[in-house]
Structure 1
């Protein structure tokens, strides 16, 4: 490799790495600022049993963007948000829907799945666990 080819390779590698990092950051920011994400975290914050199971302070971690456990399209969102606390860790599993592209997101179900396999229902649209929220 000539010196200019080596420089081009290095600059290209830096640009690709920087571009990939920027895209990752933008995708994470898009999810964390979305209504389906915010509504789910609000339900977790207001659920004493889930808070107790995790232990204070509750930390929210970045979504795993590779694989099929997180899915969002025009009308459906399914996420597994990694969470941890002083007692345990797990995933906040979220299912939200909306009737069209520019309509409001509504939670269908949110549950906390701890690393030991225990599942704590946090929200269910049917009101099975008494945490029903009105649709707007």
Structure 2
């Protein structure tokens, strides 16, 4: 496969990631969270998920973790989107959204359904 084919394959996966319901819900949560907007600084630019980072970006049968680069006029960093579902036939539900910025880590949404024992922290 040539470089154009690899580029198109990566873009295809990025489009699929951006179509995930919990990806879009997390963006809405951040955009509607006054303190998150203040910490990052509107307007916020959303980067591409690093597909090779399997520790921070994965979707399995019942859990999903996405690390999305975010940049604003005040700060930049990553938004971690943690989602769960009952089984592989049901839709993912956003369980936690965290911002990893230069001046700290902020949890801006938490349903209590994400278990930190399932994952490795930062």
Q: Would you call these one fold, judging by a TM-score over 0.5?
A: yes
Q: Distance in 2 between matches of 1:88 and 1:16?
A: 37
Of 100, 106, 113, 2:87 maps to 100
Q: Distance in 2 between matches of 1:30 and 1:48?
A: 28
Larger relative contact order, structure 1 or 2 (CA cutoff 8 Å, min sep 6): 2
Which structure 1 residue ranges, 5 or more long, are not aligned? 1-14, 128-136
Classify the secondary structure of the residue corresponding to 2:2: helix
Q: Distance in 2 between matches of 1:114 and 1:23?
A: 30
User: Shift of residue 48 of structure 1?
Assistant: 0.6
Larger radius of gyration: 1
Q: Distance in 2 between matches of 1:61 and 1:89?
A: 11
RMSD: 1.5
Alignment of 1:68-107 (within 5 A): 68=54, 69-107=56-94
Q: Which residue of 2 aligns with 1:31?
A: 17
> How does the TM-score come out when normalised to structure 2?
0.85
Q: Distance in 2 between matches of 1:88 and 1:62?
A: 17
State the 4+ residue runs in structure 1 displaced beyond 2 angstroms: none
Alignment of 1:52-71 (within 5 A): 52-68=38-54, 69-71=56-58
User: Shift of residue 121 of structure 1?
Assistant: 1.4
Between structures 1 and 2, the one with greater helix share: 1
Of 101, 109, 112, 1:114 maps to 101
Q: Which residue of 1 aligns with 2:117?
A: none
> How does the TM-score come out when normalised to structure 1?
0.77
